[in-house]
Amino acid sequence: MQFKDIIGQEEVKARLKHTVHENRVSHAQLFLGEAGVGKLAMAIAYAQYINCSDRTLEDSCGVCPSCLKYQKLVHPDLHFVMPVASTKDVKKPTSAEFIEPWRNLLERQKQYINLNEWYEEIGIENKQGIINKDDCNNIIKTLGYKSYEAEYKVMIIWMAEKLYHAAAPKILKILEEPPEKTLFILISESREQILNTIYSRTQLVKFPRLKDAQIVQALSDNTDCTTESAQRVVNIAEGSYKQAVRLLNETELDALNFSFFSKWMRACYQNNLQELVAFTAEVSKIGRERQKSLLSYSLRTIRNSFLINIDQNAMVKLEADERTFATKFSPFINQANIHLFTEQINQALYHIERNANPSILFMDLSLQVVQFLKLKPAAVQ
């Protein structure tokens, strides 16, 4: 991966290249930003640039032995740690056990991946992957060896918020005082979920959302979609290339989310307990990642309904059928309840991440939504 292959993020590229030019590469860096904005691709391109034997001011050469190994993700001084869980074939999971599917996924997706794709790749869709104590022990062991051939040993920890709390203390010392010429790059989507003891030992590199024009261009370059289709998905991709690709490839999922959400809200509005029990039973069977997808979709649709309510239609990003529903739904989303919806759905997402019982969670949330929908603007204190 070279810098030229990364979508947008020109300011981040310039900052990282400057650290190399000035010989001021921080030994532990945290790449922080939303999903789909290029953090993992940038981490690999940065590491490749640092270890390129013939780099220019702008990019790695792409053809030296080091670059060729980096491009295949097989360089002996490039190491990855990512969230994993046990499977039918792997009872004691570590990142090393899954390195081949990891490389295969990154190659297919051009290093723009999300957590759902990774879990599906290794067959743990209904589990929560973590970075466990065995991986932390392996980090210490691996970085204790001398580098094989590169100037820098590089350890990329993807989705660092999945670092198991009980395991994290194991790597604090090496993160703060690593062996010479060692680079840690931690990648995260959530500052709130990163342990403070980890966060305080890293230099922060923030990744902004991508611009719509950058995503449209990337979709045109990398897919067979029309400009019209690209523009349509960009309007609701919220600055994420990965989200835009997902919207192109997974229209069925969005249609299913819309079906679930509209049915759910109607049952809540009617206070139809029988329908809510049926909905809860149905949604509890779709797997945790799909449940999280539904909750995220619900947040977005509720937010857009509120924007319609307050006459901010220019900011609304919905498909035609979604907009029709949201317009009818918008009178029930107002200043009295928008913060309650946001707070409780985010809390539900938090608990789903931590393996809460989905039947209990969705029923409890549904009963709260029944009450929220009754609130009028005059109820604001």
Which residue(s) pair with 207 in the sheet? 33
Q: Does 117 score more than 60 pLDDT?
A: yes
Model confidence at 286, pLDDT cuts 50, 70, 90, reads confident
For residue 280 the two structure tokens come to 């809860």
Model confidence at 230, pLDDT cuts 50, 70, 90, reads confident
Is the pTM of the predicted complex or chain greater than 0.75? no
Q: Does 380 score more than 60 pLDDT?
A: no
Q: How far apart are CA 104 and CA 37, in angstroms?
A: 20
User: Which tops the pLDDT comparison, 362 or 285?
Assistant: 362
Q: Does 359 score more than 90 pLDDT?
A: yes
pLDDT digits (tens, 9 = 90+) for 193-210: 999 999 999 999 999 999
Per-residue pLDDT averaged across 251-271, rounded? 87
pLDDT digits (tens, 9 = 90+) for 150-180: 999 999 999 999 998 888 889 999 999 999 9
Per-residue pLDDT averaged across 211-236, rounded? 84
Model confidence at 86, pLDDT cuts 50, 70, 90, reads confident
Q: Does 379 score more than 70 pLDDT?
A: no
Q: How far apart are CA 378 and CA 20, in angstroms?
A: 58
pLDDT digits (tens, 9 = 90+) for 64-84: 999 999 999 999 999 999 999
Which phi and psi (to 5°) does residue 335 adopt? -60, -20
Write the secondary structure of the chain as one string of H (helix), E (strand) and C (coil).
CCHHHCCCCHHHHHHHHHHHHCCCCCCEEEEEECCCCCHHHHHHHHHHHHHCCCCCCCCCCCCCHHHHHHHCCCCCCEEEECCECCCCCCCCCCHHHHHHHHHHHHHHCCCCCCHHHHHHHHCCCCCCCEECHHHHHHHHHHHHCCCCCCCCEEEEEECHHHECCCCCHHHHHHHHCCCCCEEEEEEECCCCCCCHHHHCCCEEEEECCCCHHHHHHHHHHHCCCCHHHHHHHHHHHCCCHHHHHHHHHCHHHHHHHHHHHHHHHHHHHCCCHHHHHHHHHHHCCCCHHHHHHHHHHHHHHHHHHHHHHCCCHHHCCCCHHHHHHHHHHHHHCCCCCHHHHHHHHHHHHHHHHCCCCHHHHHHHHHHHHHHHCCCCHHHCC
Mean pLDDT score of the chain: 91
Residue 91 backbone class (left: φ over 0; alpha: ψ -120 to 50; beta: rest): alpha
Model confidence at 97, pLDDT cuts 50, 70, 90, reads very high
Sign of CA dihedral 258, 259, 265, 268: negative
Q: Does 253 score more than 80 pLDDT?
A: no
Q: How far apart are CA 66 and CA 88, in angstroms?
A: 36
Model confidence at 125, pLDDT cuts 50, 70, 90, reads low
